[in-house]
Structure 1
Amino acid sequence: MPDPQRPLRKLGFLTIGLFDPADPAAGHESTLQIIELGEQLGFDSAWLRHRHLQFGISSPIAMMAAASQRTSRIEIGTAVTPLGWENPLRLAEDLATVDLLAGGRINPGLSVGEPMHYDTVKDELYPNSSELEDFSYARVERLARLISGEPLRALSGRQGVVEEFSNRVEPHSPGLRQRLWYGAGSRKSAIWAGANGFNLLSSSVIFPEDDQEPVFDRIQQAQIRAFREAATTSAGTHGPGRVSQGLVVIPTDSASADQRERYRRYVEERLPRTKAPQGPRGMLFAPDLVGTSDEIAEQLHAHAGFQEVDEVAFALPFSFDHEDYVQILTDIATTLGPALGWTPGGTGHDVD
């Protein structure tokens, strides 16, 4: 288990990639420029949220492919792709293709479960099988199996003059299976991810157990420890597993007076939801962290969840302007990261 005072090893960021529906190209271009800036600043990873039928990135795989051709070092991931919207076989082909284009820098983050507002879209998404679709862990297990290169059919070899067939997903990208992440918000999911050879994405939203006091950082700490215990048990097959924490942090070191005021209003508007469990499952939200890098670093070092990790993917606020993201990322890379013991570009991406 990492020492709470151990220097931060990997620094990443997460963006939703919002766009104006009247000019969606500009928003997508802004996201690509932010990823390029992240590499220039030395970030180790950039992560894309996945949003369907909203004004955010609906095709992060396409965005990762584009970003891979504008960068050379930074890891690029999804946090997360909801598999309820995906065909695992087709997704496996796309992910492997992009991973090869990126030189082995892709980190697919995944989740399972019924798609959000399923009743409103099921007849278009699965017109003939909406009541039969399996949205359980089996769906992500199938994706992992296909990405790993396991045979999926007996047919293979040459047919005719030019047709040649494979019995596995092609192209195959060695090492991609070890870079699959699972976005877990509950202890059950964290344990499952560890036992089944996934890395763990732990974010600013979690679900407590019935017997747990609703204290976000302590619950997150317990989930990470449960993941590591399960991952250690299965390490002979899959390896020990990585853990990344994602909180919203907004450093203000170089922000203008107007930016600081807007940032604080944003945080204050979102703060009430963090005061008590939300919804039937008692969902807990972590408070956003805003202030100078020294102030944020002090809060993070006292955060029980942060004490468990040496990788982070700090989430950018949803609705800010491009210039705001440039300022926030620059402050994270030049001031907050070093305050947490991180060295810009010091580790690069893991070699498979």
Structure 2
Amino acid sequence: MARTLRRLGFLTIGLFDPADPRAGHEATLRLVELGERLGFDSAWVRHRHLQHGISSPVAVLAAASQRTSHIDLGTAVIPLGWENPLRLAEDLATVDLLSGGRLNPGVSVGPPMRYDEVRGALYPDTGDAEDFGHERVRRLLSFVRGEPVTDFSGTEGFEAFSDRVQPQSPGLADRMWYGAGSLRSARWAGEHRMNLLTSSVVKAGEAEGEPDFAEIQRAQIRTFRAHHPEGERARVSQGLVVVPTDSATPAQRARYEAYARERTPRTATPQGPARLMFAPDLVGSSAEIAERLAAHAAFREVDEVAFALPFTFEPDDYVQILTDIATRLAPALGWRPARRAAE
């Protein structure tokens, strides 16, 4: 039996023109403000290094926290290979406090993208010794949860020192998410009491024949909950690309369909050595998309979503897509806004 959609979110990469990066960042902040006005429960930003997308999501969400009042703010996801977990824990707690407890940090592991080219700048002295596995997440969790990081606390001269990361933000640890794409990582996230972010990419693993994206993702969700202390109540959010066209102009509709058509071939079979499976982009009327989601094996397992916005569209396109999601698609899936800010 499918779950009723309870929490509605959206995800943006926050692209910008390198000749005018401020404008792109401002456009992202305005999109978050729009999401709050439309009643979205959460807004999420992606993370990009050495590209023309958001490289510092925590800083962007700090700004967003001061321009909104109740929408949750998430990262999907921060690749921890680029981060010092202790320093990141300080930043996360600070922004969570400034937001009034609305931050939802999502993280992932693995070597930084194009590591051979960037390691000399990122880890010039420790590149061979860095651990990019789950231990990096475990350290971050321990710092956020307030476990000691040193055996010294007290006063030295006029300065007071804590043995825990400061500040501490109560409740933040319960809002930590893990971006998983495999059964192994889904199980690890469950065992370590995290929430689970799923996206439009999964690892096919050793599946033979023609693996099915939705079935693979459903197996990962069920594995996560089977190993989480809260079982079926453990939080899972799904992040498929959906583009409703109800109020789109003919030109917008044609552009959206061309975008999806160009990306469709990669969804047919596993891609590359990692055997990545990509979900098809869902483009059409809200009624058509709702019908396809109702039949999606993994979507039937979740009651939270962070629908991903396509990367390369214009600001007016995003306004139309978010408006149709909030006013047409999500209600068709059973969602009702908890509140809407004043226009």
Runs (5+) with no aligned partner, structure 1: none
**Aligned-pair distance for 1:240?**
4.6
Q: Is the aligned partner of 1:164 residue 2:150?
A: no
Instruction: Please report how far the alpha carbon of residue 347 of structure 1 lies from its aligned counterpart in structure 2 after TM superposition.
Output: 11
Q: 2:205 pairs with 196, 204, 209, which one? A: 209
* Aligned residue in 2 for 1:121: 118
Specify the alignment match of 2:236 in structure 1.
243
Aligned residue in 2 for 1:319: 312
Counterpart of 1:273?
266
Q: 2:15 pairs with 9, 14, 18, which one?
A: 18
Runs of 4+ in 1 over 2 A off after TM superposition: 345-348
1:333 aligns with 2:326: yes
Number of residue equivalences: 340
Equivalent residues of 2:79, 2:107 under 8 A apart: yes
Give the equivalent residue in structure 2 for 1:107: 104
Deviation at residue 183 of structure 1 after TM alignment: 0.3
> Do residues 189 (structure 1) and 185 (structure 2) align?
yes
How far does residue 345 in structure 1 lie from its aligned partner after superposition?
2.6
The correspondence for 1:286, drawn from 275, 279, 282, is 279
Structure 2: distance between partners of 1:31 and 1:155? 42
Cα pair 1:206 1:283 within 8 Å, conserved? yes
Secondary structure of 1:80's partner? Answer: strand
1:91 is aligned, of 77, 83, 88, to 88
Contact 2:39/2:340 (8 A) holds in 1: no
State which of 291, 295, 301 in structure 2 corresponds to 1:302.
295
- Matching residue of 2:337: 344
Structure 2 residue identity aligned to 1:342: W
Q: Is the 8 A contact 1:185 1:202 kept in 2?
A: yes
The residue identity in structure 1 corresponding to 2:164 is: R
CA distance in 1, matches of 2:20, 2:247: 29
- Residue 173 of structure 2 aligns with an amino acid whose one-letter code is R
Query: 2: CA distance between counterparts of 1:87 and 1:226?
Result: 29
Aligned AA for 1:19? F
* TM-score under structure 2 length normalisation: 0.97
Q: Report the AA paired with residue 101 of structure 1.
A: L
- Residue 24 (structure 2) aligns with: 27
Residues 126 and 87 (structure 1 numbering): CA distance in 2 closer, same or farther, change over 3 Å?
same
Residue number in structure 2 paired with 1:52: 49
Aligned with residue 247 of structure 2, among 254, 270, 293 = 254
SS, match of residue 76 in structure 1 = strand
Distance 2:266 2:338 in 1: 35
**2:123 counterpart letter in structure 1:** Y
Q: CA deviation at 1:154?
A: 1.4
In structure 2, distance between residues paired with 1:157 and 1:240? 41
Superposed CA offset, 1:253-292 (max 9, x none): 0000110010000000000100111001211000000000
Conservation of the 8 A alpha-carbon contact between 2:36 and 2:340:
no
Deviations along 1:29-61, whole A, 9 cap, x unmatched? 000000000000000000000000000000000
Cα-to-partner distance string for 1:88-142 (whole Å, 9 max, x where unaligned) = 0000000000000001100000000100100110011011000100001000000
Which residue of the other structure, out of 118, 127, 130, is the alignment partner of 1:130?
127
1:148 paired residue number = 145
How far is the alpha carbon of 1:235 from its aligned partner?
3.8
Counterpart CA distance in 2 for 1:28 and 1:343 is 29
**Native 8 Å contact 1:9 1:347 kept in 2:** no
Find the counterpart in structure 2 of residue 228 from structure 1: 225
| Superposed displacement of residue 7, structure 1 | 1.9
Amino acid corresponding to residue 252 of structure 1 in structure 2: T
Partner secondary structure for residue 293 of structure 2: helix
Shift of 1:159: 1.5
Q: Which blocks of at least 5 consecutive residues in structure 2 are unaligned?
A: none
Q: What is the TM-score when the length of structure 1 is the normalising length?
A: 0.94
Question: Does the CA contact (< 8 Å) of 1:65 and 1:101 recur in 2?
Answer: yes
Which letter maps to 1:165?
A: F
AA at the equivalent of 1:150? E
Aligned AA for 2:242? V
CA contact (8 A) 2:213 2:279 kept: yes
Instruction: Report deviation, 1:201.
Output: 0.3
Alignment partners' CA distance in 1, 2:192 and 2:36: 31
CA contact (8 A) 1:10 1:347 kept: no
Could you tell me which amino acid in structure 2 is paired with residue 182 of structure 1? Y
Q: Which moved more, 1:329-338 or 1:339-348?
A: 339-348
Q: Which amino acid aligns with 2:150?
A: R
Q: Is the 8 A contact 1:77 1:108 kept in 2?
A: yes
Alpha-carbon contact 1:44-1:347 (below 8 Å) kept:
no
Note if contact 2:108-2:179 (Cα within 8 Å) is conserved in structure 1.
yes
Q: Which amino acid aligns with 1:344?
A: P
Within 2, Cα distance between the matches of 1:189 and 1:7?
A: 26
Residue identity opposite 1:308 in structure 2: E
